[in-house]
Amino acid sequence: MIRSYKFLLRPTTRQAVALGEMLRDHCSLYNGALQERRDAWRHGSKTRIRYGDQSAQLKEIRVFAPERQGRWSFSSQQATLRRLDNAFQAFFRRVKAGQTPGYPRFKGIGHFDTVVFPKDGDGCRWDSTPHEPHTRVCIRGVGHVRVHQHRPVRGRVKTISVKREGNRWYVVLSCDDVPAEPLPPTGAVVGIDVGITHFLTTSDGEHVANPRFLDAAAVELADAQRHLATFPKRTRQRTKKHRAAARKVAKLHSKIRRQRLDFHHKTGLALVRDHDAIAHERLNTAGMTRAPKPKPDPATPGAFLPNGAAAKAGLNRTILDAGWAQFLGILANKAESAGRLLVPVDPRNTSRTCLACGHVAKENRATQAKFECVTCGFTANADHVGATNVLNRAGLVLCDVA
């Protein structure tokens, strides 16, 4: 299996400055390569420059600027150019598919936060001082940076990424050949239905409360964002107060993200430990949170009718705060590692199908929480009905496990 490990870095003041310079120079390389592609295409010859052409120029670039580009790993610079090439490949793919293209943009230094080293030992070496009690990672141009390693690393380290989040630095290891750690069988199977009233409901009738981390921090976050809005959006040099205001907003968002991630890990681990097989809805959260299309007013050219965008925006915010996609991804990884079976099923009408008579109707779901069949009168919690129907749809696969 392939697994990722993320550890906090504890650089010295000098090393933190060097890490910032490394990001700055890789960002400059990315933007320069993007500008070259744009200029070549705007030329009358319509020349297309590819990754191989730009990678071949790296030696000259490093010789021309030894105090900047020449300081860093050659392979990490190739990874940055490959990152730009992937962005263009995705752009052309969307153009062919008739989707919104989204042409690659220039990166501001505040939005370029990751440098990738494609191979352990090539510009960056994990556990560079094994004889010392503290784990360190050696980064070319930076030195041996101390790592807060809170768990053992299993498998073979393939790629290493150095990432900045706010004022913190992290190292992310991508490891191959990670051994599975199967859990003993329990003989239990379960279906789950995710929602916003309850984060999830199981087919056994148990509810897991929705923590709503974004709502809990809404007042403090709104105050911080209003303070940040008093400063100019575009300026060549931010003042000390401007930088402090931006750091506070970023810190609050980072805290919310970490709380949500911790909650998802703990909830997923509890499900995996207690059940041999888990069934869940196959959700398209990107489609569910898409903004409604405008409704032109036929009577008034240029005007639009109400389309419920404000109410949909509130629902979208609640769905994204719950983080269903992230949770299901974490659940899948934990199930694979523990040797459990995860079964995604079609989510259509799971909360509208009667468990007693099988009647399907929109009117069966009287409210967000109550299910009442219009045919036979069966009543139950709507989320519990949905979770049970999810389990029933996955029954053919789960019967083999049980």
Which tens digits make up the pLDDT trace of 156-199? 999 999 999 988 999 999 999 999 899 999 999 999 999 999 99
Which residues fall within 8 angstroms of residue 19, CB to CB, at 6 or more apart?
11, 139, 142, 145, 162, 164, 169
Give the pLDDT score at 282. 93
Please give the pLDDT value at position 400: 53
pLDDT value for 41:
87
Which token pair is 201? 């409901």
The tens digit of pLDDT for each residue in 210-229 reads: 999 999 999 999 999 999 99
Residue 267's nearest CA partner among 311, 329, 197, 175 is 329
CA 199 → CA 21, 117, 207, distances in Å? 42, 38, 8
Cα 377 to Cα 204: distance, rounded to the nearest angstrom: 21
The pLDDT of residue 110 is 85
Q: Are 402 and 390 in contact (CB under 8 A)?
A: no
Q: Band of the pLDDT at 137, cuts 50, 70, 90?
A: very high
Residue pLDDT, tens place only, 332-364: 999 999 999 999 999 999 989 999 988 999 899
Percent of the chain clearing pLDDT 70 (strictly above): 98
Higher confidence at residue 273 or residue 305? 273
pLDDT band at 301 (very low <50, low <70, confident <90, very high): confident
Task: Tell me what the mean pLDDT of segment 19-34 comes to.
Answer: 96
Strands 114-117 and 124-126: unpaired
Q: What pLDDT was estimated at residue 176?
A: 94
Q: In which band, very low, low, confident or very high, does the pLDDT at 129 lie, cut at 50, 70 and 90?
A: very high
Picking from 177, 171, 132, the residue whose alpha carbon sits closest to that of residue 154 is 177
pLDDT of residue 399: 59
Mean pLDDT of the chain: 92
Q: 24: closest CA among 99, 90, 109?
A: 109
* Nearest-angstrom CA–CA distance, 356 and 285: 30
Lowest mean pLDDT among 12-26, 76-90, 291-305: 291-305
pLDDT of residue 1: 87
